Amino acid sequence: MSTVKLPLYTPSDRSPSYAAEPQSGEQRLAVARARARLPIASSLSIPTQASRTVVEGIHISLDRQREEDTPVAIYRQDEIVKGEVSLSDWRDIESVTIALEGDHVVAAVLDIKTRDECVLFSHEHKLWRAGNSLSDCPSKLRFAVPFPSTFEDSKGSSSTPPSFSGRYPGPPIISAYISYSLTVVVTRDTYFHPGDNPERVCSEMIFYRPQSRPPLPAPESGPPFMSIVKLSPEDWCQVTTSVPSHNSGVGAIDCHLFIPAGSTYAFDRPIPFQLQLRAPMNHLLAIQGVMPRNNDTRESVFPSTQTAGPSSLKSFGPRRSLSMLGGLLQKIRSEGQASSWVRVYLQRQISIRIYGRDMSQNIHIGEAELTSMTAPDGENVLVWDGRLECASSPNVVTSGFSTSSVEVKDFIVIHIKPFDPAISPWREHIHAHPVHLATHPYQEDSD
């Protein structure tokens, strides 16, 4: 029986010592990290590298370069996320999968802290799978993943919401967070790597900012405002409300707001409008707490010891001349008081639903400057022209949207606060008219 002489073996070299930081002559090639995720409380705490990410030997490179105002790549509706996955070690790989995912988090702090998280969607695409062939996985794999324009939740099919992150003081303190990421999962054959985690994961944060435009161009505006409205009434919308009275003997004051038709306006374009208050002359003066006397002086309509009623309002007389009204209002305007009790502004409302409980916060995003105008002859009316502009703010970078857990809506708000509301026969009145703020101005079709 013959014997086989085994070769001689020499002891292997000692394994090098490792340190948390690179030593002299060494270079860090990759850092293993958790899946990219935005903190709820910040809209700016995001990865600083958008075009390429390296984790555990997986390199994601996006074709889309980041824009100047954000450190991550931005995609619009109906766009395709294109790029390349590079692998530093492509041997013994069973599969490579890429997934485009949307995450949704809402949180609130009132009596207790509550938090709810859900996945909007997760669309997986297999880039490579080992078959009967013994060939290794390619070291570079191209991908093209369409960004979904819709998603499904408890409300049914809805438009995919934009990337969103915000925390709003309360009470209640509410937070809303919608993020999107591209995740590559590399699965290795455990036969050749026993005991090792078979999966390596690399994620890349991306922004989704769908564009929107008003369906109609902004109409021409300027004095005389109502002449323009009457010339093209189809270009304008009239919002009607009333300042209510809690005194049965005093009627409401009618309020009319004329704004461009369509109720969709671009962030960066002013919204022209005219505001009118219509009522008997003595009511228009009384709501401001003034009354005409000799020499057009004024004094309080409502004595401090007596609640105003029909008798006090009748002290104006049934027919005061409109010239007296105009002169008195002009004096009030010159002292800067005509619009101190009338406001028109833009408001954004963020609402969340968490475990069946609804909570919301209102954010002021733009204030109009009102200019008092001369009332038309023969009419008892107060008139202001104005322009609403959306303030530059991190709270206003996307249009409104709605999901089953968070809703963002915009309003033009009319706020009328009568002089001395404690004794005024009219209540303080706030009317919110829903509008849609678009990311871009109107543009005619190129065809």
Largest pairwise CA distance in the chain: 138
96 and 183 within one domain:
yes
Q: What is the pTM of this model?
A: 0.74
247 and 164 within one domain:
no
Cα separation, 404 vs 172, whole angstroms: 19
For residue 3, tell me if it sits in a domain: no
Q: Which domain holds residue 88?
A: 52-208
Q: C-alpha 373: how far from its chain's center?
A: 34
Among 208, 236, 261, identify where a domain stops. 208
What is the residue type of 137?
Answer: C
327 and 197 within one domain:
no
What is the residue type of 21?
Answer: E
Phi, psi dihedral angles at 326 (to 5 degrees): -65, -40
For residue 24, tell me if it sits in a domain: no
For residue 248, tell me if it sits in a domain: yes
324 and 295 within one domain:
yes
280 and 341 within one domain:
yes
83 and 140 within one domain:
yes
Residue-wise pLDDT tens for the chain (447 aa)?
Answer: 455 454 554 554 554 554 545 555 555 444 333 333 333 323 323 333 344 566 678 989 898 766 666 678 899 988 999 999 999 887 788 899 999 999 988 888 876 778 888 889 999 999 999 876 667 889 999 999 999 998 887 778 889 999 998 888 777 888 889 999 999 999 887 666 565 667 888 998 999 999 999 988 888 776 677 888 888 888 899 999 999 988 877 889 999 999 999 899 998 899 999 999 999 988 888 888 765 444 444 444 443 333 333 334 444 443 444 444 444 444 444 444 444 689 999 999 999 888 888 888 899 999 998 988 888 877 899 999 999 998 877 667 889 998 888 899 999 999 999 887 778 889 899 999 999 999 999 887 644
What is the residue type of 340?
Answer: S
189 and 337 within one domain:
no
For residue 64, tell me if it sits in a domain: yes
**What's the pLDDT at 42?**
30
**Quick one: 95 exposed, middle or buried, by C-beta within 10 A (0-12, 13-18, 19+)?**
middle
Instruction: Please write down the HEC assignment for all residues of 151-173.
Output: EEECCEEEECCCCEEEEECCCCE
Among 152, 173, 208, identify where a domain stops. 208
Q: Which residues contact 71 (CB under 8 A, 6 or more apart)?
A: 46, 47, 48, 49, 50
230 and 123 within one domain:
no
Cα separation, 98 vs 53, whole angstroms: 14
By the 8 A CB rule, do 308 and 424 touch? yes
What is the arrangement of strands in the sheet containing 80-87, beginning at the earlier edge strand?
Answer: 52-55, 58-62, 80-87, 140-146
258 and 191 within one domain:
no
Among 142, 174, 208, identify where a domain stops. 208
277 and 191 within one domain:
no
235 and 193 within one domain:
no
Cα separation, 124 vs 145, whole angstroms: 9
Indicate which CATH number applies to the domain containing 357: 2.60.40.640
Query: Structurally, how many domains does the chain consist of?
Result: 2
Phi, psi dihedral angles at 285 (to 5 degrees): -75, -40
Read off the tokens for 168.
């709003």
For residue 365, tell me if it sits in a domain: yes
**What's the pLDDT at 194?**
64
300 and 166 within one domain:
no
**What's the pLDDT at 173?**
85
Signed CA dihedral, 140, 144, 147, 151: sign only = negative
**What's the pLDDT at 16?**
52
**What's the pLDDT at 117?**
87
**What's the pLDDT at 25?**
54
For residue 170, tell me if it sits in a domain: yes
Q: What angle do CA 421, 423, 427 make, to 5 degrees?
A: 40
For residue 20, tell me if it sits in a domain: no
